[in-house]
Amino acid sequence: MIKLLKNNLGIILIVILAVIPLGLWFFLKPLADRFTSTSITFRSLGQVTGLLGMALLSINFILAARFRFLDKLFNGLNHVYIKHHLIGALTFCLLFFHPIFLTVQFLLISLKSSFIFIFSIQDWPTNFGKLSLIIFIGLMVITFYLNFKYQNWKNTHKYLGLVLFLGGLHMLLVPSDISNNVILKYYMLSLAVLGALSYSYRTIFGVYKKREFKYKLEKVRRINDSIIEIELIPLARKIKFQPGQFIFLRFENDGILSESHPFSITSSPTSDNLFLGIKTLGDYTSMIYLLKPGAVALIEGPFGTFSYLKAESKRQIWMAGGIGITPFLSMARQMVGNYKIDLYYSVKNVSEAAFTGELAEISRRNNDFKFHEHFSDQDGYLSANLIAKNNQDISNAEIFLCGPAGFMRGLRNQFIGLGFGNSRIHSEEFSL
């Protein structure tokens, strides 16, 4: 129970922060007065959706700021971004239905009243809210329906700060329970300010750059047709990390896109230089080939809790799919102590495999590390039953998964079906 609470501490905190304003709202007046008629009921629903929507919007800006404490609170930045996406979708729905519920109360009076409420230019506090929602809808359409390049998509998200600013003005200035109650008003104002500061920290002022490590490119090594490994030399202090973690990387070079991207570290923490495994997909990763030795790289991190060192059991099964081999390479290069590891690497065929020669060599040198290649074109899909059949001593093992989402989801469900608790199955599910 304690472990379950610890693993979900972040989401519990979000729920508490979002529910507090609802609790304050419920105690402002008797509930019977808020649902005395159909019209008043829809007005109350509009207030609830607006209140909860603005609270979650503010919280979501904090989640997007990439604060280091969030990495620990949510057991990995990858989980922070998953929650960020889910809360973003929920926030949009709540704020979208906020004016709809309020419109229904006018629709019960007359169609003309509802039309005037929606389409007329009213007082500035109300107009702020309308403009905020219009911008929000536009950005969501871009996010879900337009196939933008990553950099253009990222730039459009900078305008979400305008949604928070205009929505905050509407929330605080329009006559409502918030403006009429000091406690509720200052609570919502505090959340909005924290959200705005987080947005400024990440987007405007670039304070996070002070935490970046400066490296220079030593070499780019082609592993196969789609995967490269780059070697970086520290220009000042070295980054400290645990095997399995990832960093955000950007280059200070003309001709190379300057936005930061997440990449898994493949080097051992004991290595003097930093190695990163990269799959060359999209504009950014393809342009890395254009870099010359000496190019300056700025690194932020490390992030993530996907590391064999954090598991309770030293008997572990690692499973990688495709580029998901990279965090395991870092672990294998560093592996110390009395661990007993089986690493299964699943790819379609030999041409897609990466780092297999080195991993096989590590396996030959270390009897407690066994490396298994699995080619799905000839062997079928990797399964929990196959692994259980090949290993007689996995009842107390902990499972590590990294690869495509379907690969991880399928294996997780299979191991749960074999009786493994979900807390014993670790996965790296990073998504921006």
Q: 28 phi and psi, to 5 degrees? A: -70, -35
Domain presence at residue 432: no
Q: 29 phi and psi, to 5 degrees? A: -155, 160
Whether 297 and 232 have beta carbons less than 8 Å apart is answered as yes
List, in sequence order, every beta strand (DSSP E) within 91-139.
none
Please tell me the distance from the alpha carbon of residue 250 to that of residue 168, in angstroms, as a whole number.
33
pTM of the model: 0.79
Instruction: List C-alpha distances in Å: 388 to 239, 371, 399, 420.
Output: 38, 15, 12, 12
Judge if 8 and 71 occupy the same domain.
yes
Judge if 285 and 409 occupy the same domain.
no
DSSP run (H or E) holding 40: helix 38-63
pLDDT in tens, 94-142: 999 999 999 998 888 888 888 878 878 878 899 999 999 999 998 887 7
Judge if 21 and 161 occupy the same domain.
yes
Judge if 243 and 200 occupy the same domain.
no
Of 380, 346, 341, 61, residue with least CA distance to 191: 61
Burial (CB < 10 A; 0-12, 13-18, 19+), residue 180, is exposed
Domain presence at residue 356: yes
Judge if 182 and 254 occupy the same domain.
no
Please tell me the distance from the alpha carbon of residue 40 to that of residue 363, in angstroms, as a whole number.
70
**Domain range holding 396?**
308-427
Domain presence at residue 46: yes
Domain presence at residue 382: yes
Which CATH number covers residue 365? Answer: 3.40.50.80
Judge if 292 and 360 occupy the same domain.
no
Last residue of a domain, one of 303, 327, 349: 303
Residues 6+ apart with CB under 8 A from 186: none
The pLDDT, as a whole number, for residue 119 is 78
Taking the CA atoms of residue 353, residue 355, residue 358 and residue 363 in that order, the dihedral angle to the nearest 10 degrees is -60
Last residue of a domain, one of 303, 330, 363: 303
The pLDDT, as a whole number, for residue 153 is 57
Whether 263 and 77 have beta carbons less than 8 Å apart is answered as no
Domain presence at residue 268: yes
Residue 53: HSE in the Cβ half-sphere, 13 Å Cα cutoff: 27
DSSP letter at 201 equals: I
Judge if 357 and 382 occupy the same domain.
yes
Q: 144 phi and psi, to 5 degrees? A: -100, -20
Judge if 203 and 255 occupy the same domain.
no
Quickly list H helices, 336-404. Answer: 356-365, 376-379, 384-390
Please tell me the distance from the alpha carbon of residue 408 to that of residue 405, in angstroms, as a whole number.
5
Judge if 291 and 180 occupy the same domain.
no
Q: Kindly state the greatest CA–CA separation across the chain.
A: 81
pLDDT in tens, 235-284: 989 999 999 999 999 887 655 656 778 899 999 999 999 999 988 776 66
Whether 416 and 422 have beta carbons less than 8 Å apart is answered as yes
Domain presence at residue 71: yes
As given in the structure block, the two tokens for residue 321 are 């799919």
Residues 6+ apart with CB under 8 A from 100: 46
Instruction: List C-alpha distances in Å: 67 to 81, 84, 105, 189, 198.
Output: 12, 13, 42, 21, 9
User: Is 22 a residue whose pLDDT tops 50?
Assistant: yes
Quickly list H helices, 174-226. Answer: 177-180, 182-199
According to DSSP, the β-strands at 274-279 and 296-303 are unpaired
Assign 432 a pLDDT band (cuts: 50, 70, 90): very low
Burial (CB < 10 A; 0-12, 13-18, 19+), residue 135, is middle
Using CA of residue 208, residue 211, residue 215, residue 217, what is the dihedral sign?
Answer: negative
Judge if 163 and 17 occupy the same domain.
yes
- Among 141-145, 149-153, 338-342, 375-379, name the one with the lowest average pLDDT: 149-153
Residues 6+ apart with CB under 8 A from 421: none
**Number of structural domains the chain divides into:** 3
Taking the CA atoms of residue 44, residue 47, residue 51 and residue 53 in that order, the dihedral angle to the nearest 10 degrees is 100
Angle at which helices 111-119 and 77-107 cross, to 10°: 140
Which CATH number covers residue 217? Answer: 2.40.30.10
Tell me which of 321 and 211 has the higher pLDDT: 321
Instruction: List C-alpha distances in Å: 156 to 83, 149, 152, 297, 430.
Output: 20, 11, 6, 25, 21
Domain presence at residue 35: yes
Whether 243 and 268 have beta carbons less than 8 Å apart is answered as yes
Judge if 51 and 151 occupy the same domain.
yes
Domain presence at residue 313: yes
Portion of the chain with pLDDT greater than 90, in percent: 54
pLDDT in tens, 155-199: 667 788 999 999 999 999 998 888 889 999 999 999 999 999 999
Judge if 149 and 225 occupy the same domain.
no
Q: Mean pLDDT throughout 363-372?
A: 93
Last residue of a domain, one of 303, 321, 337: 303
